[in-house]
Structure 1
Amino acid sequence: MGNCSSQDNTVPAGYKALKVQQVVQQSGDVRDFYTFDKQLGKGNFGIVHLVFDKKTNEKYACKSISKRKLVTPEDVEDVRREIQIMNHLAGHKNVVNIRGTYEDKNFIHIVMEVGAGGELFDRIAEAGHFSERRAAEVMRTIVSVVHHCHTMNVVHRDLKPENFLLTERGPGGVIKATDFGLSRFFKEGNQLDEIVGSPFYVAPEVLKRSYGKEADIWSCGVILYILLCGWPPFHGDSTQAIFKNILSAPLDLKTEPWSRVSADAKDCVRRMLARDPRKRLTAEQVLNHPWMRENGAAPDEAFVPEILIRMRQFTKMNMLKREALKVIARSLPHMELAGMREMFQEMDEDGSATITVDELREGLRRKGAEIALGEVQRILNDIDLDGNSKIDYEEFLAATMHLNKLSREENMIAAFEYFDKDKSGFITRDELMNAMKDIDAEVDVDAILAQVDQNGDGRIDYEEFCAMMRATDLDVLKSAHEALKTKVVVKSVLARVQAEPMREDSITDMSRKSSRAMATAESRKQRGASATPANAEEGEQ
């Protein structure tokens, strides 16, 4: 965590830790699932260990937070919030992925990716400063993470090179953001007032106790400045001196090596370090700055907020998968849904517990997505599973939760058993029909069955169900491609087209057979076919 917070995490004499009965709302002993290895770091709150998954032998890091150090209710809430935010941001390729949370009598354990390549800070220290090309590559990654945070209603508040890890030490190491201990959920227009962060990286408005997500861009500007010249833009002999310079000292872009830095790079730095947050670039504007564009060219398409990406993915799913996601969303622990709840409440402007088409369009616009009313209406119609022309909370969760939730076996089993009413181990056509009765829409149960039932026995087993749930858009395309390559059934269908007049029932029958061929081809193909060792100060990895 940052070191200019007003909160002192040392346990005062005479105080006792709170009797924290349950923080993470998840049972199970972490040692039942992971083997603990060497210590990677130690901080004021606890210890970080290297651990190995007992089933797969994959490496992870386990941050164990001592309950004895959770002195106040605020301390407990900070831990809960960090876990909530890590779950909320999961899925971005440059965010450390949380694997699971566990709790015992003495510790709260957070298992996550391990950053074997150490901190970005160490790379900077070794290099002194980066070339412009390399600095731009690093900043594109960092700012893309910030853009993801902001579109997901999260402000990081402690961006610095120490909080970015590399997956490996070589040139192929991927940068990953970590330590969300000071991060907060926010609503557009609301201001935060805590002075937190690390002195060199704190924005001037943070020191004035009135700030929003723009403070993260200032911190990014400081990182860019350091990458290009090797030292921070505002420094001093004490924290107070640093703060004074942040508030009033001129930005130096003339002292060497700045004469050798391009005008575009200096312009980007200057606009990220504008003292007036209203004049500062947004994350998307930084990514579109001429100096930041990859190879000097604009991106192929506009940045699409994560929530819209997830909604569009949801609309492409069959009705069984949509309903199954709703079942999973209903059973997820409260801690994993906090971020999505905040986003739902922000879009639900009238507090009706539903989102109308106008509220959805305005909510997406605030996230930076300007899309036509017609597409917004189509998205709403596909998410609205009960047919009342609005999106309720469960429907919103089903459409927007990250699909990494499908990697958990307990979620998949719960969803499968919801449809397998007689506990036979199969979802039959009748069970599928009954499950779809509550949906106020015409659902082609036979088409779903043809798509999912890979072995053609007329029912869906657990393996087939999981394959459907975990399939991506790319998997669907590959399946179709494989089916076309086999030309099984397709030739006979074409022969029938040439020999017989087209009737509505024959079209339906061919559609079912083609779907089954695609699924069978994919089935055949399938059958053949980060924490860091560095300093963990104040609970960091």
Structure 2
Amino acid sequence: MGGCTSKPSSTSVKPNPYAPKDSLPQNDDSTPARTSTAVKASPFFPFYTPSPARHRRNKSHRDGGGESKSVTGTPLRQLARAFHPPSPAKHIRDVLRRRKEKKEGAPPAARQREEEVGLDKRFGFAKDFQSRMELGEEIGRGHFGYTCSAKFKKGEFKDHEVAVKVIPKSKMTTAISVEDVRREVKILRALSGHNNLVQFYDAFEDNANVYIVMELCGGGELLDRILTRGGKYSEDDAKAVLIQILNVVAFCHLQGVVHRDLKPENFLYISKEENSQLKVIDFGLSDFVRPDERLNDIVGSAYYVAPEVLHRSYTTEADVWSIGVIAYILLCGSRPFWARTESGIFRAVLKADPSFDEPPWPSLSLEAKDFVKRLLYKDPRKRMTASQALMHPWISGSKKMNIPFDILIFRQIKAYLKSSSLRKAALMALSKTLITDELLYLKAQFAILAPNKNGLITLDNIRTALATNATEAMKESRIPDFLALVLILLLSFVLVCLLYGFNKRFGVGNYEQLNGLQYKGMDFEEFCAASISVHQHESLDCWEQSVRHAYELFEMNGNRVIVIEELASELGVGSSIPVHTILHDWIRHSDGKLSFLGFVKLLHGVSSRQPLAKTR
């Protein structure tokens, strides 16, 4: 593990079981890493060597770049030369490129020229940049562009100082790089109005460049302040930073946007004041993601990349992992996953557990450690969402937190509505065992949905809650379409129930209670059953006790005789003989009812036919 302490690097380096045996990693970038007398290790972090590009920028704004997928900001320990590990995607892209070149047989340079000729680099942005903006000095530089200060020459923002990210079109050599720039502008334009998100003004283009005009943040990077403090924040100071980060990330996730490159370098302060507001920047790797979809392209920065990203199947939970890494660094000044090479870092992310035994962790509160641990679960289903993290006792304490509607609730309700009466009864039993923290979170989410005077919510409440917080990004993420599908699902389910006689067939509860969301509404009790995250509940120390108690309640109120064919249909696994052999143990032989094993398996969401099955 890489501890960012004030000890000399020669005494603080520990053997890393995940690092390869080669003693000196090679720089995988196509150009050698630059060194400069301006690039110095921090006296607080002797092995925290800045990026080779950092000497080209001052502390007022982040470097530019439309598809800077090869930059990771937090460097390795001090080696013989500045070493900047490339992105997780780089080696994969290189392999694919070599395969394509071998298959097609054309010289790479010639083919690249042919591809560039065929690229449409027209973005439809305004073309009057020179007449409207006065470009100032360069304040940042990246692999694919640079950032300058600028002023508006006219209009409502006349003389207002801003930052302009300049992306040369000559750097856009592939259709992917063009689309990256197009998507970055679309996301910045769509995500407007949040206090912790860098303000977007406009985008321009000419024959040579694309110009993205944004708010100028003069307070420097979060990373700079971490280095200045020697890498350790008090718990209260760390909370102040994390609340701002969680707020803006929860907002982005509700809109269906995953950032994919959250790290201290991508958070800027507006001013140098100690209590200055924090802003998230650099949406060059961000993407829209639908509620029922997973992404599979490997992008991000090595130290902050989530395990599921390396497994090529992820959604918004990947951002929460990155926040967990930031939280770990803020509290102890160390990176939770470290190695001398990029591949070693990835192995640590996939296999190693962060240490909470070394100082200062023993002296920190149990709530702080629990908070970080619940952000760094390798199973993303057990990880807290950003909204849930805002309700964690360490963050909220006795303060009343204003949290946004959690898109996870939306997904959970959809899965609940698709479930059979048997699984609904099982979830209802488990919801009776929720601990106080879980109930507080669900009460806050229920209140956001503005239940009527009878304490009930309907689909209209969910629609209103989404519309209240909606931006153009939500339309791009197809969340309204997803809600429409939920409505269709409900209507179809109602029709089936009416045609076949729901109560007579299943004999559990009454129809209005199980489908109150469509008729008279869903009360808080059923909302808890619909919204509970079984995998998160399983991560708690009280899981064994809770699930045993839930099964006792299920036995009294919901368990019933069930045949293997019905159970197979509930699981959506067909009717093959091997499947039936497995399911045979799920049914109690004495009375034909669901066994404890079957109850636990059913709780884990197997009744959702294809949860988040779509991948792109």
Q: Same fold (TM over 0.5)?
A: yes
Alpha-carbon displacement from aligned partner over 1:406-446 (angstroms, at most 9, x marks no partner): xxxxxxxxxxxxxxxxxxxxxxxxxxxxxxxxxxxxxxxxx
Structure 2 vs 1, CA of residues 340 and 311 (structure 1 numbering), >3 Å: closer, same or farther? farther
Give 1:349 shift.
Answer: 3.9
In 1, Cα distance between equivalents of 2:521 and 2:199 = 32
| Aligned residue among 278, 293, 297 for 1:175 | 278
| Aligned residue among 270, 291, 301 for 2:373 | 270
In 1, Cα distance between equivalents of 2:256 and 2:296 = 17
**Counterpart mapping for 1:63-82 below 5 A:** 63-82=165-184
**Counterpart mapping for 1:267-346 below 5 A:** 267-293=370-396, 296-299=397-400, 303-304=404-405, 337=472, 339-343=474-478, 346=481
In 2, Cα distance between equivalents of 1:101 and 1:95 = 17
**Counterpart mapping for 1:272-421 below 5 A:** 272-293=375-396, 296-299=397-400, 303-304=404-405, 337=472, 339-343=474-478, 346-347=481-482, 349-350=484-485
* Residue 96 (str. 1) matches residue 198 (str. 2): yes
In 2, Cα distance between equivalents of 1:144 and 1:21 = 37
Structure 2 vs 1, CA of residues 156 and 28 (structure 1 numbering), >3 Å: closer, same or farther? same
In 2, Cα distance between equivalents of 1:116 and 1:83 = 22
Structure 2 vs 1, CA of residues 13 and 133 (structure 1 numbering), >3 Å: closer, same or farther? same
Alpha-carbon displacement from aligned partner over 1:243-276 (angstroms, at most 9, x marks no partner): 1111111220010111111110000011110111
Structure 2 vs 1, CA of residues 371 and 258 (structure 1 numbering), >3 Å: closer, same or farther? farther
In 2, Cα distance between equivalents of 1:52 and 1:248 = 49
| Aligned residue among 170, 182, 187 for 1:85 | 187
Count of matched residue pairs:
337
Structure 2 vs 1, CA of residues 298 and 169 (structure 1 numbering), >3 Å: closer, same or farther? closer
* Residue 45 (str. 1) matches residue 144 (str. 2): yes
Alpha-carbon displacement from aligned partner over 1:188-233 (angstroms, at most 9, x marks no partner): 2322111111111011111111111111111000000000011210
Structure 2 vs 1, CA of residues 122 and 18 (structure 1 numbering), >3 Å: closer, same or farther? farther
In 2, Cα distance between equivalents of 1:345 and 1:196 = 27
What RMSD over aligned residues (CA atoms) do the two structures have, in Å?
Answer: 3.3
Is the CA contact (8 Å cut-off) linking 1:23 and 1:80 kept in structure 2? Answer: no
| Aligned residue among 295, 298, 305 for 1:195 | 298
Structure 2 vs 1, CA of residues 348 and 143 (structure 1 numbering), >3 Å: closer, same or farther? closer
Q: Which residue of 1 aligns with 2:163?
A: 61
Give 1:23 shift.
Answer: 3.9
**Counterpart mapping for 1:510-525 below 5 A:** none
Pick 1 or 2: higher relative contact order, CA cutoff 8 A, min separation 6: 1
Q: Which residue of 1 aligns with 2:253?
A: 150
* Residue 6 (str. 1) matches residue 89 (str. 2): yes
In 2, Cα distance between equivalents of 1:213 and 1:63 = 26
Alpha-carbon displacement from aligned partner over 1:361-401 (angstroms, at most 9, x marks no partner): xxxxxxxxx9998999xxxxxxxxxxxxxxxxxxxxxxxxx
In 2, Cα distance between equivalents of 1:144 and 1:165 = 15
Give 1:136 shift.
Answer: 0.6
Higher mean alpha-carbon deviation, 42-51 vs 225-234, is at 42-51
Give 1:46 shift.
Answer: 1.5
Structure 2 vs 1, CA of residues 251 and 5 (structure 1 numbering), >3 Å: closer, same or farther? closer
Structure 2 vs 1, CA of residues 18 and 358 (structure 1 numbering), >3 Å: closer, same or farther? farther
In 2, Cα distance between equivalents of 1:300 and 1:43 = 37
Structure 2 vs 1, CA of residues 337 and 135 (structure 1 numbering), >3 Å: closer, same or farther? closer
Alpha-carbon displacement from aligned partner over 1:280-331 (angstroms, at most 9, x marks no partner): 11111100000011xx22525553469999999xxxxxxxxxxxxxxxxxxx
Give 1:18 shift.
Answer: 4.6
In 2, Cα distance between equivalents of 1:218 and 1:171 = 26
* Residue 245 (str. 1) matches residue 348 (str. 2): yes
Give 1:19 shift.
Answer: 5.7
| Aligned residue among 211, 215, 239 for 1:109 | 211
Is the CA contact (8 Å cut-off) linking 1:149 and 1:155 kept in structure 2? Answer: yes
In 2, Cα distance between equivalents of 1:134 and 1:172 = 10
| Aligned residue among 220, 223, 228 for 1:126 | 228
Give 1:53 shift.
Answer: 1.1
In 2, Cα distance between equivalents of 1:126 and 1:47 = 25
> Where in structure 1 are there 5+ consecutive unaligned residues?
313-335, 360-369, 377-541
Structure 2 vs 1, CA of residues 100 and 18 (structure 1 numbering), >3 Å: closer, same or farther? farther
In 1, Cα distance between equivalents of 2:517 and 2:257 = 23
- SS of residue in 2 equivalent to 1:231: coil
In 2, Cα distance between equivalents of 1:311 and 1:337 = 21
Give 1:74 shift.
Answer: 1.0
Q: Give the letter for the 1:230 counterpart.
A: G
Q: Give the letter for the 1:248 counterpart.
A: K
| Aligned residue among 109, 129, 138 for 1:30 | 129
Is the CA contact (8 Å cut-off) linking 2:269 and 2:279 kept in structure 1? Answer: yes
Give 1:238 shift.
Answer: 0.7
Q: Give the letter for the 1:299 counterpart.
A: K
In 2, Cα distance between equivalents of 1:66 and 1:151 = 32
- SS of residue in 2 equivalent to 1:142: helix
In 2, Cα distance between equivalents of 1:305 and 1:277 = 16
Structure 2 vs 1, CA of residues 302 and 207 (structure 1 numbering), >3 Å: closer, same or farther? closer
Structure 2 vs 1, CA of residues 311 and 100 (structure 1 numbering), >3 Å: closer, same or farther? farther
In 1, Cα distance between equivalents of 2:292 and 2:449 = 25
Is the CA contact (8 Å cut-off) linking 1:18 and 1:71 kept in structure 2? Answer: no
Structure 2 vs 1, CA of residues 39 and 19 (structure 1 numbering), >3 Å: closer, same or farther? farther
Identity %: 38
- SS of residue in 2 equivalent to 1:144: helix
Give 1:345 shift.
Answer: 5.3
Is the CA contact (8 Å cut-off) linking 1:141 and 1:175 kept in structure 2? Answer: yes
Structure 2 vs 1, CA of residues 228 and 117 (structure 1 numbering), >3 Å: closer, same or farther? same
In 2, Cα distance between equivalents of 1:373 and 1:146 = 34
Give 1:346 shift.
Answer: 3.2
Is the CA contact (8 Å cut-off) linking 2:140 and 2:147 kept in structure 1? Answer: yes
Is the CA contact (8 Å cut-off) linking 2:374 and 2:384 kept in structure 1? Answer: yes
> Where in structure 2 are there 5+ consecutive unaligned residues?
1-67, 71-86, 98-107, 411-444, 451-470, 492-515, 523-616
Q: Which residue of 2 aligns with 1:218?
A: 321
Q: Which residue of 2 aligns with 1:166?
A: 269
In 2, Cα distance between equivalents of 1:27 and 1:373 = 50
* Residue 204 (str. 1) matches residue 307 (str. 2): yes
**TM value normalised by structure 2:** 0.51
Q: Which residue of 2 aligns with 1:438?
A: none
Is the CA contact (8 Å cut-off) linking 2:387 and 2:406 kept in structure 1? Answer: no
Give 1:356 shift.
Answer: 8.1
